[in-house]
Structure 1
Amino acid sequence: MSKILRFILIVIFSLYNIQFLYSQELSSFKDKNQYKFSGSINLQSALYFSSDSVKLRDPFFWQLSGNFNISTPIFTIPISLTLSQQQKFDFDNFLQSQKNAVTQPFNQFGMSPKYKSLTTHIGYRSLKFSEFSLSGNQFMGIGTDFSPKNGIFKCKIVYGRFAKAIDTILPGDFSKTFERWGYGINTIIGNDKNNFGLILFKAKDISNSISGFDTLVTSQPADNLVFGITTKHKINKKINFDAEIDWSAYTYDTRREDSKLEGYTYLNNSGFLFYANTTSYLSKAMNYNLNFKEEKFNVKLSYRRIDPEYRTMGSVYLNNDFEDISGTLKYKFLKGRLNLGLTGGIQRNNLNKTKVSETLRLINSISSNYSPVDNKWNLNFGFSNFNSQSQMSVVNFGDTMRFAQITKSLNLQYSLNSKLKGNNLSSFFSFNFQDANVGSNIGSINQQETKTNFYNASIGSSLILSKVNTNINLLINAVNNISNELSSSGIGPTLSISKGFKTKKNQIRTNLSFSYLKSYVEWVSSGQIINSVCSLNYQISKKQTLSLNTSLSQRKISNNENLFESITTLNYNLRF
């Protein structure tokens, strides 16, 4: 499809929606209060100093950012802008520099005119059909979402560019990016409790959008067609069922000569929707959920399967080649004061038996929470056990290698709310333990087992002195990590004091914090870190804020070398 035809379709689509909206209740435009312009502007600058010979950042940094929103009776236009010294601009040829830029600091715009149940998306927008088809991937184009509140028919339509061509090989990356266009439709018949939906999504790379496309090895133009069905049913007052199944026809290199997909006659006769060749695959993904909900308990059973070659251009990232079954049970005791949750599941990969290794994962967990009637204290408990086993055939030895990993995790937290001379005092204690064992063997040869234990404990209190507008927080944290008989640990306190001062017009808020961490290796001192932060926040007016923040850090390592670092930040914010 040529760019001229795309432009014509966008213009016709936009004019149709504008005419439709314009013909509806023009009296609403006469109310000036329905036209609003709002947003915020933020200016930030920072000074950095370090005694280390290796500087982690520039000594001076500035950034100007803004978010604006134009709202009318039928549409809203959000606009964002970010400028900083790290972004390079060619002001003499701004449009060309932005066209060639990999990152785009100021060329994303969009609006979504809405009238009753019809929403039109123009510009940089995102829509979601389902998890395995179009799943919120951003595009630049047009779209429509028709969702009447009490209607039995809903529809989403999308057309636009899903990827920008990058005809430049970046350092460390030898691939280029093709320009990608796509379109799709998602229709649903029924209500929110019982419905049936159809999905069609098509996306394709424009092969001649980058130079040397006919001989390029590191990047191949691809083609993708996704079609599927969704359904949701409320069987009775307590049982719900929902399901999704999608098929994805994916061609990894459209430069190859067209051929037929054996056993898939309907795809070979799909016309312009999909052209198959020797790099084409058809795969599927499915998800089923059965939920039983009572007043005191809830049970959910789930099944998922995603084929090894399943891919969709409508999602940024999607795992494949796995199948899992899981179940969840939640129960409330003692009139909801005690909550108990149980989860269990099993997952496997290598569904087509084409990989040299297979992995089987087992996971089960239990969690509970208890709060008394007066809510003066709260207790949380959780335990999980993750078991992963892999088996791989080693061709060179004619034997089998087995790999096993077992991870157990335990967490406990207790919190207490009380009073101290009429002031609110809250205290807590938390503990976390993790045990990981990794072992392997080849035939009868046992390999060394790797064992890691991690401990973390924290205790702290927070005191609110409302009469003097002051908050005091104290925390002590300790960690210990033991791996293959090597122990590393650290312990230290953190103290922060925050106080507000009221002036005749506005309020000033100050905060001072201090933290100290002492580290050990095999219980021998290996260094220390001291951090201090001082911040000042002044409310100039209801819509203006000025803040100043200064942090100082000192790091001392085992060779008695001291490193100093300071960061001072000044920030101004205006809201309108």
Structure 2
Amino acid sequence: MLKRIKLNIIISLMFVAATFQLQAQDLSQIGKGKALKVNGGISLSQLYNTAFGGELNREPYSYYLNGNINFSIYGLSIPLSFNFSNEQFGYSQPFNQYGISPTYEWITLQAGYTSMSFSPYTLSGHLFLGGGVQLRPDGPWSVSAMAGRLQKAIAVDTAVGNQPAFHRFGYGSKVDYQGNGYNLNFTFFKSKDDPSTATNLTDSMEVFPEENLVLGIGGSTTLFKRVALNFEYANSAISRDIRSEGVERGTFQPFPSGGALFEHRLSTAYHQAFKTGVNYGGNGYNIGLGYERVDPGYKTHGAYFFNNDLENITVNGGTQLFKSKLSISTNVGLQRDNLNDAKINQMTRWIGAINSNWTVSKKLNVSASYSNFQTYTVIRSQFEDINNIDPLRPIDTLNFTQISQSINASSNYILKADESRVQSLNLNLSVQQSSDEQSGEEQPTGSKFYNSNIGFSNQWKELGLNIFTSINASWQEAGEINNTTLGPVLSVNKSMFEKKLRLSLTSAFNNSYSQSDLTNTVFNCRLSAAYQYKEKHNISFTNAFLARNTPQDDGSTNKSTQLNGTLTYTYQF
């Protein structure tokens, strides 16, 4: 078995070396300093899992060997990584792709898999396979340019039911001029699909070869040392099907008619995006006004996702009061959609956010925030972290919910603080509400989520001992269903031998209720130890125990127990 492990690692390293990723490098360092530098690390973990009264959803014993090594040749970095276990074996590089970005003085080249950003409305962080250059010489001018494959062709596969795609190639440039107190930039971006690269396509699949041309202009300036102005404008021409017939322009557009740059077709549409803002900074306060409009259907091949059909008018401000002990910032505005009156319904609503932090005294600090901006976030009960005893099991991060309102408040009060001991009391509360509206009426599909905890911390500095206790509660309300979880947590941390050895004990007990009926009782305890030897060697051990009791409809109780442990050795060089 040991020979097999060594062989797999050697094969992995050889294969990885053939497909390495080179990151941004400074070629001016060639010939200076040490020619070759090597650093990295290796980690070996062993895990055991046991379950009583329930199914064991993992291997009883498993091991993981992970490593990374980086070769630096005159600043040219070649990072490699590998992993091996009795469950799976693999090799990887960062992002599983390759690229190189050498730099010499004011010239930076990019090749392979890379990304660049010109402006929010043109090219904005889209990954491409190709090349780019950034020229930033001394003086007011700077230039960026790119060209490469934006999208790989994907053939139709009816057996899998995949999403077909055309090969998409793009190129663009940005010219920036930095004047005395002002900045001005011009952006150009062009992309086009190859219709011959996706076979067996039918019109019923609604996947057509597209062409896109975007021109943009932006800038900023400062007036009277206190007024800051900025703006960004872009016009995007996109043909939804380049196989459609070419036609002459019917109305004015900032693009040449016909020619090799862009051909106007029956499927061509033009959309605009504009954003501007003005801010005034006074003595101890600031105020600003912002405006943004994005036409319905606005799209650029240089960005993965884009919000369109929106108009925002915002007012923002901030100030500090009571000798800077209280700071307040706010952003309030009006948002609407259906800009071209093509929808049956129109959404118009006030949006806003306010944040505050108040240093009441040397012992008490309070902060609070409120917002009703629509965003996507993860709503997760704090008990998912508390009841997780498996260090390698990822917490679910796919529970995305649209939030319409959010409130957060926290306070910290220092009860005692001297050279030997610190005592503090913490209080936290968060409220999130998601809701759906149709024809201006709130639908019963929304939910409310509450998280709260109060904790007490007692730290002895000389002893290296910290004891923390808290009471946690979570409550979720969705329609007519209410779910509640609450319980205490105790955590003890101790450092020994000049902080080289760290011991930790955490225990929690919580009950879960649905409509006031007990659904789960969970007790868990986690003991861990970590030791560092000569800065390069680290050994850690964790043993976790979890007991769960679940009442059944017939009056019985389903009892299950889990026990797992992890032993990890890490070496850094």
Whether TM-score is above 0.5 comes out as yes
Q: Which residue of 2 aligns with 1:413?
A: 410
Q: Tell me which amino acid in the other structure corresponds to 1:128.
A: S
| Alpha-carbon offset, residue 345 of structure 1 | 0.9
User: Counterpart of 1:539 in 2: which secondary structure?
Assistant: strand
1:299/1:330 contact within 8 Å kept: yes
User: What whole-Å deviation, never above 9, does each CA across 1:379-434 have from its counterpart, x for those lacking one?
Assistant: 1133446799xxxxxxxxxxxxxxxx996654432201243673122221123456
User: Counterpart of 1:208 in 2: which secondary structure?
Assistant: helix
Q: Which residue of 2 aligns with 1:124?
A: 113
Range 155-164 or range 202-211, more displaced: 202-211
Q: Tell me which amino acid in the other structure corresponds to 1:160.
A: G
| Alpha-carbon offset, residue 525 of structure 1 | 2.2
Q: Which residue of 2 aligns with 1:466?
A: 461
1:530 paired to 2:523: yes
1:252 paired to 2:240: yes
User: Counterpart of 1:357 in 2: which secondary structure?
Assistant: coil
User: Counterpart of 2:543 in 1: which secondary structure?
Assistant: strand
Q: Which residues in structure 2 correspond to 1:173-322 (within 5 Å)?
A: 173-191=161-179, 193-213=181-201, 217=205, 219-264=207-252, 267=255, 269=257, 271-322=259-310
Give the share of equivalent positions with the same residue, in percent: 28
| Alpha-carbon offset, residue 59 of structure 1 | 5.4
Distance 1:71 1:304, change over 3 A: farther
1:176/1:218 contact within 8 Å kept: no
User: Counterpart of 1:273 in 2: which secondary structure?
Assistant: coil
| Alpha-carbon offset, residue 246 of structure 1 | 0.9
2:524/2:546 contact within 8 Å kept: yes
Q: Distance in 2 between matches of 1:274 and 1:84?
A: 53
Distance 1:316 1:448, change over 3 A: closer
Q: Distance in 1 between matches of 2:529 and 2:81?
A: 27
2:45/2:65 contact within 8 Å kept: yes
User: What whole-Å deviation, never above 9, does each CA across 1:86-109 have from its counterpart, x for those lacking one?
Assistant: 7787x9xxxxxxxxxxx9988512
| Alpha-carbon offset, residue 129 of structure 1 | 0.7
Q: Which residue of 1 aligns with 2:316?
A: 328
Distance 1:420 1:246, change over 3 A: closer
Distance 1:448 1:319, change over 3 A: closer
User: Counterpart of 1:336 in 2: which secondary structure?
Assistant: coil
Distance 1:59 1:219, change over 3 A: farther
User: Counterpart of 2:30 in 1: which secondary structure?
Assistant: helix
| Alpha-carbon offset, residue 117 of structure 1 | 1.9
2:403/2:432 contact within 8 Å kept: no
Q: CA RMSD in A?
A: 3.8
Range 407-416 or range 70-79, more displaced: 70-79
User: What whole-Å deviation, never above 9, does each CA across 1:169-193 have from its counterpart, x for those lacking one?
Assistant: 4987531233322211111011494
Q: Tell me which amino acid in the other structure corresponds to 2:101.
A: S
User: What whole-Å deviation, never above 9, does each CA across 1:118-147 have from its counterpart, x for those lacking one?
Assistant: 211222222111111111122222111122
| Alpha-carbon offset, residue 49 of structure 1 | 4.7
Q: Distance in 1 between matches of 2:70 and 2:485?
A: 48
Q: Which residue of 1 aligns with 2:103?
A: 114
| Alpha-carbon offset, residue 322 of structure 1 | 0.8
Q: Which residue of 1 aligns with 2:559?
A: 562
Q: Tell me which amino acid in the other structure corresponds to 1:29.
A: I
Q: Distance in 2 between matches of 1:171 and 1:548?
A: 47
1:166 paired to 2:161: no
Q: Tell me which amino acid in the other structure corresponds to 2:429.
A: F
Q: TM-score, normalised to structure 1's length?
A: 0.79
1:343 paired to 2:331: yes
Q: Which residue of 2 aligns with 1:13?
A: none
Q: Which residue of 1 aligns with 2:37?
A: 36
| Alpha-carbon offset, residue 532 of structure 1 | 2.2
1:76/1:111 contact within 8 Å kept: no
Match of 1:146 among 123, 135, 142: 135
Distance 1:357 1:554, change over 3 A: farther
Q: Tell me which amino acid in the other structure corresponds to 1:558.
A: P
Match of 1:378 among 354, 365, 368: 365
Q: Distance in 1 between matches of 2:155 and 2:257?
A: 34
Note the residue ranges of structure 2 that are not aligned, 5 or more in a row.
Answer: 1-23, 376-401
Q: Distance in 1 between matches of 2:566 and 2:30?
A: 45
1:174/1:218 contact within 8 Å kept: no
Distance 1:76 1:86, change over 3 A: same
User: Counterpart of 1:123 in 2: which secondary structure?
Assistant: strand
User: Counterpart of 2:163 in 1: which secondary structure?
Assistant: coil
1:552 paired to 2:550: no
| Alpha-carbon offset, residue 339 of structure 1 | 0.8
Q: TM-score, normalised to structure 2's length?
A: 0.79
User: Counterpart of 1:248 in 2: which secondary structure?
Assistant: strand
| Alpha-carbon offset, residue 370 of structure 1 | 1.1
Range 114-123 or range 189-198, more displaced: 189-198
User: What whole-Å deviation, never above 9, does each CA across 1:8-33 have from its counterpart, x for those lacking one?
Assistant: xxxxxxxxx99xx98xx7xx533333
Q: Which residue of 1 aligns with 2:421?
A: 423
Q: Distance in 2 between matches of 1:551 and 1:261?
A: 70
1:544/1:575 contact within 8 Å kept: yes
| Alpha-carbon offset, residue 554 of structure 1 | 2.7
User: What whole-Å deviation, never above 9, does each CA across 1:145-177 have from its counterpart, x for those lacking one?
Assistant: 1224x5200111112222333336498753123
Distance 1:355 1:142, change over 3 A: same
Note the residue ranges of structure 1 that are not aligned, 5 or more in a row.
Answer: 1-16, 92-102, 389-404
Distance 1:500 1:378, change over 3 A: same
Distance 1:419 1:66, change over 3 A: same
| Alpha-carbon offset, residue 78 of structure 1 | 4.6
Q: Which residue of 2 aligns with 1:3?
A: none
Q: Distance in 2 between matches of 1:449 and 1:250?
A: 39
1:323/1:348 contact within 8 Å kept: yes
User: Counterpart of 2:347 in 1: which secondary structure?
Assistant: strand
1:457 paired to 2:452: yes
Q: Which residue of 1 aligns with 2:484?
A: 489
User: Counterpart of 1:538 in 2: which secondary structure?
Assistant: strand
Distance 1:32 1:294, change over 3 A: same
Q: Distance in 1 between matches of 2:34 and 2:374?
A: 61
Range 457-466 or range 256-265, more displaced: 256-265
2:435/2:443 contact within 8 Å kept: no
Match of 1:135 among 103, 114, 124: 124
Q: Which residues in structure 2 correspond to 1:40-51 (within 5 Å)?
A: 40-44=41-45, 46-50=47-51
Q: Which residue of 1 aligns with 2:20?
A: none
Distance 1:463 1:51, change over 3 A: same
Q: Which residue of 1 aligns with 2:395?
A: none
Q: Which residues in structure 2 correspond to 1:506-521 (within 5 Å)?
A: 507-521=500-514
1:261/1:280 contact within 8 Å kept: no
Distance 1:381 1:133, change over 3 A: same
Q: Which residue of 2 aligns with 1:399?
A: none
User: Counterpart of 1:226 in 2: which secondary structure?
Assistant: strand
2:258/2:264 contact within 8 Å kept: no
Q: Which residue of 1 aligns with 2:393?
A: none
Q: Tell me which amino acid in the other structure corresponds to 2:166.
A: F
Q: Distance in 2 between matches of 1:168 and 1:482?
A: 44
Number of residue equivalences: 519
Q: Tell me which amino acid in the other structure corresponds to 2:98.
A: F
User: What whole-Å deviation, never above 9, does each CA across 1:234-269 have from its counterpart, x for those lacking one?
Assistant: 122111111111111122233434444532565463
| Alpha-carbon offset, residue 566 of structure 1 | 4.1
